[in-house]
A and B are shown apart, each in its own frame.
Chain A
Amino acid sequence: MSDGREAKGQLTRDTILAALETVKDPEIPTVSIVDLGLIYDVRVKDEEVEVDFAPTFVGCPALHAMEREIVERIQSLGAHSVRVRRVYRPPWTADRMNERARQALRELGIAPPRPAPAEITLTVFEKLPCPFCGSTDTRMENLFGPTSCRALFYCNTCQQPFEAFKPL
């Protein structure tokens, strides 16, 4: 169809969310931004789409890449204009991640985070289950890791270093 009518019919909140399932965080390439809970809202008005997108960490260098992909995916559904708004309220926390994201993280060797308390303290990182063997005989080695959102740990049982997603 060349008049765009078919494309227009595809442009709903649900079809957009389904399309965004294919957008991944390039630093965690098996987890979609929808499962991570980074999409707060999608509004469709005629062929104009506005997406509320919450960064995990504000300084995440992957934000631009993810935003570009969001725009491309929605344009391919026939949207005339797509605006991605960065939103900070409520601040993103690990509680927004779904079980599929948590399982995908484990498969990558990244321990999913515990529920985020109001104020994060070092106790959040005690006895964190190892993503490889499940042991809780683990220790935090570094609050900082290869990306802003990950910290470095070591498992005393299987003697493997591993990463953990910060609860934020």
Chain B
Amino acid sequence: MGNLSRMPEPLREAVGNLLLAMADEEVLIGHRDSEWVGHAPILEADIAIASIAQDEIGHAILWYSLLQELGWPDPDRMAYFRDPPEFRNATLVELPRGDWAFTVVRQFLFDFAEKVRLEALMGSAWTPLAEAAAKVRREETYHLMHSRAWIARLGDATEESHQRMQAALDLAWPHALGLFEPAPGEALRVAEGIQPPEAELRARWEAEVRPILEAASLVIPQAEPIYGGRAGRHTEHLASLLADFQLVARSGLGETW
């Protein structure tokens, strides 16, 4: 299935909901990562987080571009001119950047969620999505190597590093489970071969992240998922993030540059 104009209406909406969640999550985690530029604990980490931020925002543009082909507004309008309830990201990516441990843990949980999602979407019945997923999956290899190395390095390095990493995991985990909140229209997407069920993705994700976290002496909390983000219900942190992220675009300066 490659022809966009022939996608029937309920499916177009359902595929758009999936892309919207993916795009919003990438652009927001990219922004949170970019808040470290000039502030990371070591120079090498600063370069890495800047590069990762750039990659994630690039991936957001790709998903927003596919949305545009389905009839949504252009990527800049999507990123800069929507208000919090219109964003459909899991709440994990909007939480404040926190300390370095939280940044590392969040990125690790996010990167592996993205990995299992992309690997599944490489088999999507919608060709443009399958092709884009294969491309992004290769790029993500570098993020995966980087974030799992930081988990191993800080998980049980010192008492303080362990405590900070465990606290970060306790905070991030239920929000990370929200990365598998089904966006509206899941049943139709699954029936049409666009994606496997979110529950299946979550199981694959847990099978990947649990052994890595446990090997770093971290205890995975027993917690219920924090859902709502994919339906536009967010924490108070999204509004302040967007106030910063969207300020220049909304000031109108761009028109005269």
Report which A residues bind B (CB closer than 8 A). 57-61, 87-89, 91-93, 119-122, 141-148, 152, 166, 168
Q: A89–B187 Cα gap in the complex (Å)? A: 28
Residue B94, interface by CB 8 Å: no
In the complex, given contacts A88-B132, A92-B135, what are 18 additional A-B residue pairs having Cβ atoms less than 8 angstroms apart?
A: A58-B59, A58-B62, A59-B54, A59-B57, A61-B54, A88-B131, A89-B131, A93-B138, A119-B141, A121-B145, A122-B145, A142-B44, A144-B142, A144-B146, A145-B51, A147-B51, A166-B142, A168-B139
Q: A122–B141 Cα gap in the complex (Å)? A: 10
Contact A144 B134 (CB under 8 A): no
Which of B47, B51, B52, B139 contacts A58, CB < 8 Å? B139
Q: A119–B55 Cα gap in the complex (Å)? A: 19
Contact A88 B59 (CB under 8 A): no
Taking chain B's interface residues, is the majority helix, strand, or loop, or is none over half, making it mixed?
helix
Q: B136 — which chain A residues lie within 8 A by C-beta?
A: 58
Q: B134 — which chain A residues lie within 8 A by C-beta?
A: 88-89, 91
Taking chain A's interface residues, is the majority helix, strand, or loop, or is none over half, making it mixed?
loop
Contact A59 B131 (CB under 8 A): no
Which of B44, B48, B139, B146 contacts A57, CB < 8 Å? B139
Q: A159–B134 Cα gap in the complex (Å)? A: 38
CB-based nearest A residue for B137: A91
Q: B142 — which chain A residues lie within 8 A by C-beta?
A: 120, 143-144, 166
Q: A147 — which chain B residues lie within 8 A by C-beta?
A: 51
Which of B52, B56, B57, B61 contacts A144, CB < 8 Å? B52
Contact A59 B55 (CB under 8 A): yes
Q: A59–B54 Cα gap in the complex (Å)? A: 6
Q: A166–B140 Cα gap in the complex (Å)? A: 12
> In the complex, how many angstroms separate the beta carbon of A49 from the nearest chain B beta carbon?
21
Q: B62 — which chain A residues lie within 8 A by C-beta?
A: 58
Q: List 30 A-B contacts (CB under 8 A).
A: A57-B55, A57-B58, A58-B55, A58-B61, A58-B136, A58-B139, A59-B55, A59-B59, A59-B61, A61-B54, A87-B131, A88-B134, A91-B138, A93-B138, A119-B141, A120-B141, A120-B142, A122-B145, A142-B47, A143-B142, A144-B48, A144-B52, A145-B47, A145-B51, A146-B47, A148-B51, A148-B55, A148-B58, A148-B139, A168-B139
Q: A143 — which chain B residues lie within 8 A by C-beta?
A: 48, 142, 145-146
Q: B141 — which chain A residues lie within 8 A by C-beta?
A: 119-120
Q: A166–B139 Cα gap in the complex (Å)? A: 10
Which of B121-149 touch A at CB < 8 Å?
A: 131-132, 134-136, 138-139, 141-142, 145-146
Q: A168 — which chain B residues lie within 8 A by C-beta?
A: 138-139
> In the complex, how many angstroms separate the beta carbon of A101 from the nearest chain B beta carbon?
19
> In the complex, how many angstroms separate the beta carbon of B143 from the nearest chain A beta carbon?
9
CB-based nearest B residue for A147: B51
